[in-house]
Amino acid sequence: MITKDQVLDHADTVVDALNILGEVTGLKAKHSVETIAHVAKAVASTLRASLAGAITKEEVAQRNQILLDKLADADAKADDALNKKFAVEDDAG
């Protein structure tokens, strides 16, 4: 199975491959090389944006959520420690 990293790493190759495909299939006869290249880049760009979007949703958001979750845990731990500290002192007094 091809991973998204492999696709990102070979985005240039995808563009080249589509350019060559255009040559081989005769698209060049109907469209300029520039048009074929433009379409190929658009396809590669869309593919890359889709993959990057997945990274945004599944990885970047998750990484920031880890920060928020662990800070919430630390806050609860500190609040609990503070309450226990003075509850103990009140009981002793």
Partner 1 sequence: MRHPDRRWRTGAAIAIMMIAFAPYLLLACGPSSRGKALRASLVGVDASRDGFLAYDQEAQAKIVADATSLEEGRAALDTYRAERQKVVAAFEVAYRMIALALVDKADLPAVVEAAASLQDAIDSLRQLHGGTP
Q: Which residues of this protein are in contact with partner 1, per CB under 8 A?
A: 5, 8-12, 44, 48-49, 52-53, 55-56, 59-61, 63-64, 66-68, 70-71, 74-75, 77-79, 81-83, 85-86
Min separation Cβ 42 and partner 1, Å: 13
What is the greatest pairwise CA distance in the chain? 94
CA 36 to chain centre: 28
- Interior CA angle at 60 toward 55 and 58, to 5°? 50
Name the residue nearer to partner 1 (CB basis): 21 or 86: 86
**Closer CB to partner 1, residue 25 or residue 55?**
55
With respect to partner 1, which residue has the nearer C-beta, 23 or 53?
A: 53
Q: How far is the CB of 48 from partner 1 (least distance, A)?
A: 7
